[in-house]
Amino acid sequence: MADTTREAARPGTPAAPARRGRTARAPRRVPLPRRLTPWLFLLAPLALLLTFTYAPIANMIAYSFTDWDGVSPELNYTGTGNYTELLTRSELFEVFFVSGYYLVASVVQIVLALYFATVLSFDVRFRNFFKGVLFFPYLINGVAIGFVFLYFFQDGGTLDSVLRLLGVETDHAWLGTPSSANTSLAGVSVWRYLGLNFVLFLGAIQSIPGELYEAAEIDGASRWHQFRHIIAPGIRPVLSLSVILSVSGSLSVFEIPYIMTGGATGTETFVIQTVKLAFQFNKTGLASAAAVVLLLIVLAVTWVQRRIVPDEKVDLV
């Protein structure tokens, strides 16, 4: 019996015919309409993305090589003349110093958002109420925020009234000098965008497994040690994203200073200057070149930051 088994298993021996009913079937080919169905769902968003994002960017790049005034149907090709003018006129880049105020404000904003997200991630009374209070300013329209704080900082306005109630008499014009105006506007941006970073950090903290906190409490770890060894490493990718958004946002500030001051008293940003070039001085070609330069600067800053602080997979378990 053993010899028969070895003979059947010997290489070169013809295999026994397969039993009827167990023949392998070729995989059924998926019909063409079913294979096209996912692409049909993507057709509408891709069309919107191309129409309202990539096509305008392509037109902007094309306009940056012309002297178009935004009205005339004729376009005169000027080559790199607009870029040469941007790089040779130092006053066009001096407005980037204003971004320093917003860059400092973004650091304060990230620190406050991280603090509140850490505190409210634990069991605190009325934490849902405080979550809503912190996130609510981000839901308000930027134009409305600009007008509200315009009355807040005006002479004899809300801020002066509150300070007077506290016994502090001041006749300081909050939007009257470049330093105080930029500081006030940067403070408004902190108040408005604090909720966005807060929600990002809170979601990242709550995604950390709860067993880690329980184990840390059993080992006698304090809140600070839990933050240092559990929360900070766990939210590193989200923290890196927030820094990228803050840096790019500080370079492209527009809404609040344009509404509150219109770029006066030394509060003009690069985007406000670009808008004025296009719609006030009818230099759409030069404004398009400025927009391309700003886009390249933001991409370069993001690339450098990603190279310095690369994303690393975090494994806390």
* 3-state SS track over 85-113: HHHHCHHHCHHHHHHHHHHHHHHHHHHHH
Asked if residue 29 has pLDDT above 90, the reply is: no
Say how far apart CA 75 and CA 65 lie, in whole Å.
9
145, with CB counted inside 10 A (0-12, 13-18, 19+), is buried
Tokens describing residue 254: 């527009």
Better-predicted residue by pLDDT, 10 or 267: 267
pTM score, whole prediction: 0.79
Asked if residue 121 has pLDDT above 90, the reply is: no
Banded model confidence at residue 20, pLDDT cuts 50, 70, 90: low
Q: Please give the helix or strand (H or E) that residue 4 lies within, else none.
A: helix 2-9
Asked if residue 61 has pLDDT above 90, the reply is: yes
Tokens describing residue 313: 């997979």
Q: Can you tell me whether residue 66 is helix, strand or coil? A: strand
Say how far apart CA 280 and CA 262 lie, in whole Å.
12
| Each residue's pLDDT tens digit, 91-107 | 878 888 999 999 999 99
Any idea what the Cα angle at residue 56 is, between residues 55 and 57, rounded to 5°? 90
pLDDT computed for residue 40 by the predictor? 84
Say how far apart CA 292 and CA 279 lie, in whole Å.
17
Banded model confidence at residue 51, pLDDT cuts 50, 70, 90: very high
Question: Positive or negative, the Cα torsion across 166, 170, 173, 178?
Answer: negative
pLDDT computed for residue 106 by the predictor? 93
**Among candidate residues 155, 127, 118, 123, the one with its CA nearest the CA of residue 239:** 118
Residue type for 215, please? Answer: A
**Among candidate residues 138, 64, 45, the one with its CA nearest the CA of residue 295:** 64
Look at 5-19, 159-173, 199-213 and tell me which has the smallest mean pLDDT: 5-19
Asked if residue 295 has pLDDT above 60, the reply is: yes
Average pLDDT over residues 116-129: 87
Asked if residue 166 has pLDDT above 70, the reply is: yes
Percent of the chain with pLDDT over 70: 88
**Cα atoms in the Cβ-side hemisphere of radius 13 Å centred on 290:** 27
Q: What is the DSSP letter of 166?
A: T
Residue whose pair of structure tokens reads 């090589």 in the numeric block: 65
Banded model confidence at residue 6, pLDDT cuts 50, 70, 90: very low
Question: Residues 6 or more apart from 67 whose CB is under 8 A from it?
Answer: 75, 76, 78, 81, 82, 283, 285
Asked if residue 113 has pLDDT above 90, the reply is: yes
Look at 9-13, 247-251, 307-311 and tell me which has the smallest mean pLDDT: 9-13
Q: Please give the helix or strand (H or E) that residue 53 lies within, else none.
A: none
The gap from C-alpha 277 to its chain's centroid, in whole angstroms, comes to 26
Question: Residues 6 or more apart from 121 whose CB is under 8 A from it?
Answer: 202, 205, 206, 231
Average pLDDT over the chain reads: 84
The gap from C-alpha 18 to its chain's centroid, in whole angstroms, comes to 62
Say how far apart CA 208 and CA 198 lie, in whole Å.
16
